[in-house]
């Protein structure tokens, strides 16, 4: 592969990075943007015209949706099932009640406390049909596909862009990384940090050749309610932000969607996360509040220059 | 006056009638057995065709009462199964990541967002 180039732009309420052969980055970006626009049009809970918003407002009725939303719901349900509900797409109402009810940049930094909203695991009640594509959710719940849809978007965007430009492509959406096509010699280089915006800061770097790498962190998207810190990763079992046992969890998997499901579940699981990740056979790096780093599943020790 | 004897068949006629009736009964029995066997065979063939052509899909809710980690209220609720073809476990990467002393190529960071 020739010299790599990259482009960075805003998308899906976060930062998108596309890496490909330097002379193909513009074409790769165009392909990625088309995919992201489709995902946003179907899966955003902040767009009143999105298929997801129509489904959330349907009052429990069957709703005709785009096949892309069906796929996004499928991915979310797969994450819920394989994490025993720790990653639950029906936490939308919980997230809204703890204050994240609009684009994050517009969420007030402080506000009154709210009662925790603990619901039965409503993801089990979601019904999906494919011909014609339609979805039904309980009237008392709201879908939030934020995490899994972003990872799905990275997977799809990387695949589509690699097909279009005919070379390997890396797509990062807010730190959820997916790669497709031929990898460069030595693999795709990815830095690991608490915040995906930490470009160039000293830290650990790994290389991957396929699949995806996702990082979940309790150090970002934080605000305060009732004088208590709140963050965006919700524990469906408590109706509150997950306990901050781990500051950051990074996971490698066969796809970005699976990596994202595992890293989010690990944050929610807390102290049991390393053993759970090892049982899944997933390489992972967990950073505790005290900066202690735990590596499982073949995640490498940090190389020293 | 009617001669009643003239209306009674002779023994040879009765035997012929009996043989004819038995042949008819055997024919009906054979036809019935063939029809039942053909029906069963046709049922099996059509069932096989239907099973192959319209195999079950896991896109609808089904019953479950299994408990989970997040099991509040889960008893007796329906489970939305994953799409056909999805695996039963999160997929591991083809190879674990390799540590690099310094980044190579454009900066990409995996971190919280």
- Tell me the mean pLDDT in the region A16-43: 95
Domain presence at residue B19:
yes
pLDDT band at B51 (very low <50, low <70, confident <90, very high): low
> Is the pLDDT at B55 greater than 50, yes or no?
no
Q: Of B46, B110, B28, which is closest to residue A285 (Cα–Cα)? A: B110
Out of B69, B79, B98, name the one closest to residue A300 (CB). Answer: B98
Interface residue of A86, A116, A186, A190 to substitute, partner B, most B CBs within 10 Å? A190
Out of B90, B105, B111, name the one closest to residue A261 (CB). Answer: B90
Q: Cα–Cα distance between A92 and A143 in angstroms, integer? A: 5
Domain presence at residue B17:
yes
Please answer yes or no on whether B86 and A74 come within 8 Å at the CB atom.
yes
Chain A residues in contact with B77 (beta carbon < 8 A): 120-121, 124-125
- Tell me the mean pLDDT in the region A266-272: 94
Domain presence at residue A301:
no
Interface residue of A177, A252, A272, A305 to substitute, partner B, most B CBs within 10 Å? A252
Domain presence at residue A71:
yes
Interface of B with A in 53-72 (CB under 8 A): 59-61, 64, 68-72
Domain presence at residue A302:
no
- Give how far the C-alpha of residue A30 lies from the chain's centroid of Cα atoms, to the nearest Å: 22
Structural domain count, chain A:
1
Domain presence at residue A305:
no
pLDDT band at B14 (very low <50, low <70, confident <90, very high): confident
Which ipTM value was assigned to this complex? 0.83
Domain presence at residue A304:
no
Residue with the larger pLDDT of the pair A20 and B75: A20
How far CA A114 is from CA of A27, A46, A62, A94, A232, in Å, comes to: 47, 21, 31, 10, 15
How far CA A207 is from CA of A187, A191, A243, A283, B102, in Å, comes to: 5, 9, 30, 13, 10
Determine the Cα angle at A202 with ends A198 and A203, to 5°: 85
Domain presence at residue B16:
yes
Please answer yes or no on whether A15 and B81 come within 8 Å at the CB atom.
no
> Is the pLDDT at A202 greater than 80, yes or no?
no
Domain presence at residue B100:
no
Q: Of A198, A22, A225, which is closest to residue A114 (Cα–Cα)? A: A225
Burial of residue A1 (CB within 10 Å: 0-12, 13-18, 19+) is middle
Q: Cα–Cα distance between A287 and A294 in angstroms, integer? A: 6
**Residue B60: per-residue pLDDT:** 35
Q: Please answer whether residues A254 and B93 qualify as being in contact, where contact means their C-beta atoms are separated by less than 8 angstroms.
A: yes
Shortest Cα distance from A280 to chain B (angstroms)? 7
Please answer yes or no on whether B112 and A219 come within 8 Å at the CB atom.
yes
**Residue A302: per-residue pLDDT:** 86
Domain presence at residue B65:
no
Out of A126, A150, A207, name the one closest to residue B80 (CB). Answer: A126
**CA nearest to A22 within chain B:** B106
Structural domain range at position B31: 9-56
**Residue B7: per-residue pLDDT:** 54
Cβ of B73 under 8 Å from any chain A Cβ?
Answer: yes
Shortest Cα distance from A295 to chain B (angstroms)? 12
Please answer yes or no on whether A187 and B64 come within 8 Å at the CB atom.
no
Please answer yes or no on whether A128 and B104 come within 8 Å at the CB atom.
no
Out of A210, A214, A254, name the one closest to residue B110 (CB). Answer: A214
Structural domain range at position A59: 4-296
Q: Of A198, A302, A22, which is closest to residue B109 (Cα–Cα)? A: A198
Domain CATH code at residue A171? 3.10.520.10
Tens digit of pLDDT for each residue in A173-199?
A: 999 999 999 999 999 999 998 776 665
Interface of B with A in 82-111 (CB under 8 A): 82-83, 86, 88-111
Domain presence at residue B82:
no
Structural domain count, chain B:
1
Report chain A's mean pLDDT, rounded to a whole number.
Answer: 90
């Amino acid at each position: 592969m020739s010299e790599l180039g990259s482009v960075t732009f805003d998308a899906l309420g976060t930062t998108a990075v596309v890496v490909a052969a330097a002379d193909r980055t513009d074409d790769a970006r165009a392909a990625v943007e088309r995919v992201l626009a489709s995902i946003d049009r179907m899966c955003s809970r902040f767009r009143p015209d999105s298929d997801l918003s129509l489904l959330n407002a349907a009052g429990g009725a069957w709703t005709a949706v785009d096949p892309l939303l069906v796929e996004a719901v499928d991915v979310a349900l797969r994450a819920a099932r394989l994490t025993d509900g720790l990653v639950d797409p029906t936490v939308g109402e919980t997230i809204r009640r703890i204050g994240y009810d609009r684009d994050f940049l517009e969420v007030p930094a402080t506000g009154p406390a709210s009662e925790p909203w603990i619901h039965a695991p409503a993801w089990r009640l979601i019904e999906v049909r494919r011909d014609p594509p339609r979805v039904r959710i309980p009237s008392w719940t709201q879908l939030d596909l934020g995490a899994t849809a972003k990872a799905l978007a990275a997977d799809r965007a990387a695949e589509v862009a690699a097909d279009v430009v005919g070379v390997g492509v890396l797509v990062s959406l807010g730190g959820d990384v997916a790669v497709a096509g031929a990898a460069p010699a030595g693999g795709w280089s990815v830095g690991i940090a608490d915040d995906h915006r930490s470009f160039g800061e000293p830290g650990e770097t790994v290389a991957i050749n396929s699949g995806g790498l996702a990082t979940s962190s309790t150090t970002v998207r934080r605000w305060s309610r009732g004088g208590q810190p709140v963050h965006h990763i919700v524990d469906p079992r408590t109706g509150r932000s997950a306990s901050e046992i781990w500051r950051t969890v990074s996971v490698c998997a066969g796809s970005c969607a699976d990596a994202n499901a595992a890293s989010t579940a690990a944050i929610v699981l807390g102290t049991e996360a390393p053993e759970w990740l090892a049982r899944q056979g997933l390489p992972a790096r967990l950073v505790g509040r005290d900066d202690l780093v735990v590596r499982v599943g073949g995640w490498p020790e940090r190389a020293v220059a | 006056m009617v001669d009643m004897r003239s209306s009674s068949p002779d023994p040879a006629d009765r035997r012929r009638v009996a043989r004819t009736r038995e042949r008819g009964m055997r024919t009906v029995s054979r036809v019935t057995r063939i029809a039942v066997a053909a029906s069963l065979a046709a049922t099996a063939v059509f069932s096989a065709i239907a099973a192959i052509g319209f195999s079950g899909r896991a896109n609808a809710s089904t019953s479950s009462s299994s408990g989970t980690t997040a099991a509040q209220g889960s008893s007796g609720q329906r489970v939305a199964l994953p799409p056909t073809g999805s695996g039963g476990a999160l997929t591991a990467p083809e190879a674990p990541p390799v540590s690099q002393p310094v980044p190579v190529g454009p900066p990409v960071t995996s971190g919280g967002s």
